[in-house]
């Protein structure tokens, strides 16, 4: 698949640094924030399913809600892994920024 270039040719380290910073602030940080919010939603869902199930006498409903709770917990675990990966990418980006700054300074 051929795609158009997203950025123009970088001609100096100042421009490179700006792109490095933009990647961190425009991609890494918002992704981390969104994943954190998603984790909170899944946690709220799981807790709600557990509470509703505990208040019900319907065994079929209890089972279904228990499964939904476990699915939300599983999603939380996946999201925590994603968040860790995004945080690692952010840290790597910060190191790249410092490397470029050292040469540009």
Provide the whole-model pTM: 0.84
Instruction: List the chain domain ranges.
Output: 13-104
pLDDT in tens, 51-73: 999 999 999 999 999 999 999 99
For 3, list phi and psi in degrees, rounded to 5. Answer: -130, 155
Residue whose token pair is 């945080």: 87
Q: What is the CATH code for 13-104?
A: 1.10.287
What does the pLDDT read at residue 6? Answer: 78
Determine the Cα–Cα distance for residues 34 and 39; give it in Å rounded to an integer. Answer: 9
Average pLDDT score over residue span 78-82? 98
Burial letters 13-31, b for 16+ CB under 10 A, else e: beebbeebbebbeeebeeb
């Amino acid at each position: 698949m051929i795609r158009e270039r997203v950025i123009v040719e970088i001609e100096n380290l100042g421009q490179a640094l700006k792109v490095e910073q933009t990647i961190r602030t425009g991609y890494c940080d918002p992704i981390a924030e969104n994943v954190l919010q998603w984790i909170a939603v899944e946690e709220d869902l799981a807790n709600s399913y557990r509470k509703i199930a505990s208040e019900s006498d319907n065994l079929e409903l209890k089972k279904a809600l228990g499964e939904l709770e476990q699915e939300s917990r599983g999603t939380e675990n996946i999201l925590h892994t994603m968040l860790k990966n995004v945080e690692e990418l952010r840290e790597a980006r910060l190191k790249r920024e410092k490397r470029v700054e050292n040469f540009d300074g």
